[in-house]
Amino acid sequence: MSVEASNGAGRTIVEKIWDEHLVHREAGKPDVLYIDLHLVHEVTSPQAFEGLRLSGRRVRRPDLTFATADHNIPTTDRSLPISDPISKAQIDTLESNIGEFGIVYFGMHDPRQGIVHVIGPELGLTQPGMTIVCGDSHTSTHGAFGALAFGIGTSEVEHVLATQCLTQSRPKTMAVNFVGVAGEGVTAKDLILGVISEIGVGGGIGHVIEYRGEAITALSMEGRMTVCNMSIESGARAGLIAPDETTFEYLEGRPYAPSGSAWSEAVDFWRSLPSDKGSTYDEEVEIDAGSIAPFVTWGTTPGMSVQVTGSVPSPSEAADPSEASAMERSLAYMGLKAGTPIVDIPVDRVFIGSCTNGRIEDLRSAARVAAGHRLADSVKAMVVPGSSAVKAMAESEGLDKIFKDAGFEWREAGCSMCLGMNPDILEPGERAASTSNRNFEGRQGRGGRTHLVSPEMAAAASIAGHFVDIRDWEYK
């Protein structure tokens, strides 16, 4: 059933948010939706601002637009100038655009700086029931709060800057229902890798996913953000989770969250958002949470994963010849042999960070694993907090010391090695355990081999020098 067709009784949360933001509807055309929050960063915005200048347009709502620098900035000493002249030019361009158009900016030296999808929530900008966009596919992260949040391209960035609206065709809805609870050592990262493994990297195309069930409601906001973050890796337009007490507790008191009587007004509205009983979805998927073990990707899409207890699969197990050839290509790129037990795969590098797993809870979990241990001699590892605020909080808790004592590098906040736009990249042939979101060919550096895992699994691999089942880990 489309969003329009089910207007009225029995609406899903997606339909409620859609209706709430409808500015214009016309038969045979996509709807025009109002955008509550537009997050901007240095990489996908310069051409949009240039487009505004060329057409003589202004930013309609600079007060609903917030910018930061995250994608290409160095994570080393911030007191030094950016050494890459092209990166510096991009940051300089953002800063000049921000000034010209009057937009709030959390720059490289601002304590509120960080990855767009980490700072929106921690500043309280991300709230239930909102529409949120950003020129970045991982905008789906904000869905953890029960917001409709999705990534857009630069032309759409320009459209939102100019009009605060977007022309959008109605999405289909998909419910992913987790049955039961996740076992010990199974994290939000493993739940979402399990979803992608189940529905495939194109399974979500055209849909907004709502994640439901006890395994989801039991998660912290950080865990929910990890799940929603990787919705795009299934092809979904967005992913979200209905707001509840956990959501409200996280938000209360944050800088941009409502306060006083506005707080109770907001909470009343937020409580009305969860999908109504009897609302229907275009598609429903059931996943047994108890059957999910820690996941490790072995290939070059986030759907190419196995549980840590398994082995690298063989192309002979493929469903059809095109899948077999994709598997062969991936195995060749990854330098892996079919049948190799996952725990026998050695790692050279470990990256803990990103908008998927760079929040405080992720760093705490990884630090618990690393505490009292030393990195394996062959491993280089780095921790890159998702925001400057996460970094400061981690330092106040002594997590930086735990990591440094274990031999990790402790860096400044940014996207870093998740996409390798800054100097943090893999060398050709290097194999990494990474808490990020994409294991595409060359994603973390040309010829680099990425295995996606949870922060706990990444930390354990850095100590052991190869993947281990975190459920067998001896904590010190």
Residues 112 to 151: which contact other proteins by CB under 8 A?
A: 124-125, 127, 130, 135-137, 150-151
Nearest distance, CB of residue 228 and other proteins, angstroms: 16
Q: Which residues contact 203 (CB under 8 A, 6 or more apart)?
A: 196, 234, 235
Tell me the site size for other proteins, rule CB under 8 A: 87
Which amino acid, one-letter code, is at 65? Answer: T
C-alpha closest to that of 455 among 363, 344, 370: 363
> Per rule CB under 8 A, is residue 327 in the interface with other proteins?
no
CA-CA distances (angstroms) from residue 294 to 119, 218, 220? 28, 17, 18
Nearest distance, CB of residue 355 and other proteins, angstroms: 12
> Per rule CB under 8 A, is residue 343 in the interface with other proteins?
no
Nearest distance, CB of residue 307 and other proteins, angstroms: 22
Residues 358-397 that bind other proteins (CB under 8 A): none
Nearest distance, CB of residue 212 and other proteins, angstroms: 22
Given 5, 89, 181, 332, the residue binding other proteins (CB under 8 A): 89
Is residue 392 within 8 Å of residue 119, measured between CB atoms?
Answer: no
> Per rule CB under 8 A, is residue 266 in the interface with other proteins?
yes
Residues 164-183 that bind other proteins (CB under 8 A): 164-165, 167, 169
How many whole angstroms separate alpha carbon 152 and alpha carbon 395? 34
Is residue 430 within 8 Å of residue 305, measured between CB atoms?
Answer: no
How many whole angstroms separate alpha carbon 269 and alpha carbon 129? 8
Residues 286-315 that bind other proteins (CB under 8 A): 301
> Per rule CB under 8 A, is residue 50 in the interface with other proteins?
yes
> Per rule CB under 8 A, is residue 253 in the interface with other proteins?
no
Residue with the two structure tokens 């890796």 = 233
Which amino acid, one-letter code, is at 7? Answer: N
CA-CA distances (angstroms) from residue 293 to 98, 163, 194, 233, 415? 45, 46, 9, 19, 27
Q: What angle do CA 281, 283, 288 make, to 5 degrees?
A: 110
Q: What are phi and psi of 218, to 5 degrees?
A: -75, -15
| Region of 346 on the Ramachandran plot (φ > 0 left; ψ -120 to 50 alpha; else beta) | beta
Given 206, 290, 310, 465, the residue binding other proteins (CB under 8 A): 206
Kindly tell me which of 100 and 344 has the beta carbon lying closer to other proteins.
100
Is residue 289 within 8 Å of residue 180, measured between CB atoms?
Answer: yes
How many whole angstroms separate alpha carbon 173 and alpha carbon 28? 20
3-state class (DSSP) for residue 410: strand
Given 6, 34, 198, 338, the residue binding other proteins (CB under 8 A): 34
> Per rule CB under 8 A, is residue 440 in the interface with other proteins?
yes
> Per rule CB under 8 A, is residue 72 in the interface with other proteins?
yes
Q: What are phi and psi of 390, to 5 degrees?
A: -60, -40
Nearest distance, CB of residue 120 and other proteins, angstroms: 9
Given 18, 66, 101, 106, the residue binding other proteins (CB under 8 A): 66
Kindly tell me which of 275 and 416 has the beta carbon lying closer to other proteins.
416
Kindly tell me which of 257 and 458 has the beta carbon lying closer to other proteins.
257
Given 19, 76, 78, 104, the residue binding other proteins (CB under 8 A): 104
How many whole angstroms separate alpha carbon 282 and alpha carbon 174? 6
Nearest distance, CB of residue 90 and other proteins, angstroms: 5
Kindly tell me which of 164 and 356 has the beta carbon lying closer to other proteins.
164
> Per rule CB under 8 A, is residue 32 in the interface with other proteins?
yes
Stretch that binds other proteins, among 214-222, 249-257, 307-315, 375-383 (CB under 8 A): 249-257
> Per rule CB under 8 A, is residue 111 in the interface with other proteins?
no
Longest dimension (CA), the chain: 64
How many whole angstroms separate alpha carbon 255 and alpha carbon 311? 47
Kindly tell me which of 269 and 314 has the beta carbon lying closer to other proteins.
269
Query: Please, how many CA atoms are within 13 Å of residue 144, restricted to the half-sphere of its CB?
Result: 35
Given 13, 59, 152, 406, the residue binding other proteins (CB under 8 A): 152
